[in-house]
Amino acid sequence: MIHLQVELHINGQEKRLEVSKSDSLLDVLREKGYTGAKRGCDTGACGFCTVIVDGEPEKSCVTPIAKADSTEVRTIESLGSQDDLHPIQAAFVDNFALQCGFCIPGMIMRSKALLDENPDPTERQVREALSDNLCRCTGYKKIVEAVLDASDRMSDDETVAADGGLPADVAFESGCSCSCSDSSGGGDE
């Protein structure tokens, strides 16, 4: 096995890691405990493993670890906690946008990347953004509604923040133990 050293910034923390050259980013994340990123197809087809790399949503199962060297990686663990959900997570819960939950971490990270780039997307833009992420349970309608709701919530939070309140993205390092981000929740690891 050929090893190499990589440096990743994962959820704001610098990590120097020795990895196998054949590892994917998903292999390394899960090995290091970031098991919110789910392994579905492992071939780039389902989107369950989606994380944000340098601001872009990426399917980590088909991202070679060498390609991820020196990047900023955000996983679902960087969002809210069970007691303090990120607005996207709260919108998914309140809109009943999850059933088994296995696709949800990838859906939420894909939605986060979309809303970071386009805070006020149309329904069509949401559907296009999520088109690489599959869900076998929900029929997508409630997921799309949740993302649109999250957009409203985040713009309300931005207004509050501008008035001196806390920003929407408050729990960068806290990790979430609810079914939409936890390593054990939302289906089998």
- Give min distance, CB of 67 to ligand FES, in A: 15
CB-wise, 41 or 161, nearer to ligand FES?
Answer: 41
The amino acid present at 156, given as its one-letter code, is D
CB-wise, 148 or 180, nearer to ligand FES?
Answer: 180
- Give min distance, CB of 183 to ligand FES, in A: 15
- Separation of alpha carbons 30 and 77, rounded Å: 12
CB-wise, 28 or 98, nearer to ligand FES?
Answer: 98
Which residue is it, tokens 């998914």? 92
- Give min distance, CB of 73 to ligand FES, in A: 15
CB-wise, 168 or 178, nearer to ligand FES?
Answer: 178
- Give min distance, CB of 33 to ligand FES, in A: 18
Residues at the interface with ligand FES (CB under 6 A): 39-42, 44-49, 59, 61, 98-104, 135-138
Tokens representing 14 are 């610098």
CB-wise, 63 or 169, nearer to ligand FES?
Answer: 63
**CA distances (Å), 61 to each of 1, 26, 151, in order?**
19, 5, 28
- Is the C-alpha dihedral spanning 9, 56, 98, 160 positive or negative? positive
- Give min distance, CB of 25 to ligand FES, in A: 10
